[in-house]
Amino acid sequence: MFIAAFDIGGTSIKYGVVNEEGTILMDNSFPSEAHLGGKAIIQNIIAKGKELQQEWDLAGIAISSAGQIDNKAGVVVHATDTIPGYTGVQIKQRIEEATGLKVTAENDVNCTALGEHWKGAAMDADDFLCVTIGTGIGGAIFTDGTLYAGSRFSAGEIGHINLYAGGKPCTCGDSGCLEQYASSSALQEMIGAVFGYKMELRTFFDGLRTDDEKSMVLYNQWIDDLATGMKSMVHILNPELIVIGGGVSAQGDFLLDPVKEALMEKIMPNHAAKLDIRIAQHANQANLLGAVKHFIDCGAGG
């Protein structure tokens, strides 16, 4: 069985063909052109899906998407203006009607968690939190081996934990949210404020590795804010594992070790006793794997 998987983000749409064993047989990407709106994105996926249909004997299409996704009806419950006009888009219905294939859709961070639980860093964990650090901060929750979506498919919004009352305005409409201080875009903003010019994160991390003092002070503040946000989730959920994904996770142990140290200092002893923290194994491919796992779990391949 071959399933086409698509991961919809604000910058690019990653796609691939995956078999039911979780082997990614091919993958690629194309620009989202998010400014054209949600409906245009779905049309581009339909076009690419039809191309893949000609090359592969597809059982269906599995979608991982930014936004809050009704993972049963395949509808965008809510999305920010990163993808204009995306809220309310009927992903499942539109792609099924256009391709004749079975389609499922799930939130992208939930797909990261599903992918890592199926084939990655969380294979041995039943109660874990997945945190993705990118332009924003996303979260997904596994309890008793099952993804917890919440009453309105919106659980795990760790990026909108309030960190500083009356702080920086956030895209959610509130202010002082965690992602305004501990996302990769927040780190980029801090770098610009401290150094007075724009610096690529890769260059910044190179400076950290040479023990640049100004960089280290900035980084420690960013880590402390991130750990404070995670502390709230740990005390609420008491997970056995936290999996960190997203673009910044490419820094590996250089990110992992400081986060572990800062978090363990903040949480109560019983919560820390058996808590493990790991970097996601599959990076961007975790979302493709998770979308396919959701497709299989829905019985869509039957």
Q: Hey, which CATH number is domain 122-279, 3.30.413.10, 3.10.105.10, 3.30.420.40, 3.90.1010.10?
A: 3.30.420.40
3-state secondary structure 147-165: EECCCCCCCCCHHHCECCC
Average pLDDT estimate for 256-285: 96
Give CA–CA dist 97/87, Å, rounded.
Answer: 19
Q: How would you label 270-292 residue by residue, b for 16+ Cβ within 10 Å and e otherwise?
A: ebeeebebbbbbbebbbbbbbbb
Average pLDDT estimate for 232-241: 98
pLDDT 10s digits, 159-185: 999 999 999 999 899 999 999 999 999
Average pLDDT estimate for 54-64: 98
* Equal fold, 2-112+285-297 vs 122-279: yes
For 2-112+285-297, give the CATH class.
alpha beta
Residues contacting residue 189 through CB under 8 Å, at least 6 positions apart: none
Alpha-carbon torsion 47, 48, 50, 55, what sign? positive
Whether residue 301 is predicted with pLDDT greater than 90 in this model: the reply is: no
pLDDT at 284: 80
**What is the domain partition of the chain in residue ranges?**
2-112+285-297, 122-279
Position of tokens 């961070």?
Answer: 109
pLDDT 10s digits, 5-50: 999 998 999 999 999 999 999 999 999 999 999 999 999 999 999 9
pLDDT at 283: 87
pTM for this model (two decimals): 0.95
**Contact (CB, 8 A) for 286 and 245:** yes
Phi, psi of 123 (to 5 degrees): -60, -30
pLDDT at 149: 95
pLDDT 10s digits, 181-221: 999 999 999 999 999 999 999 999 999 999 899 999 999 99
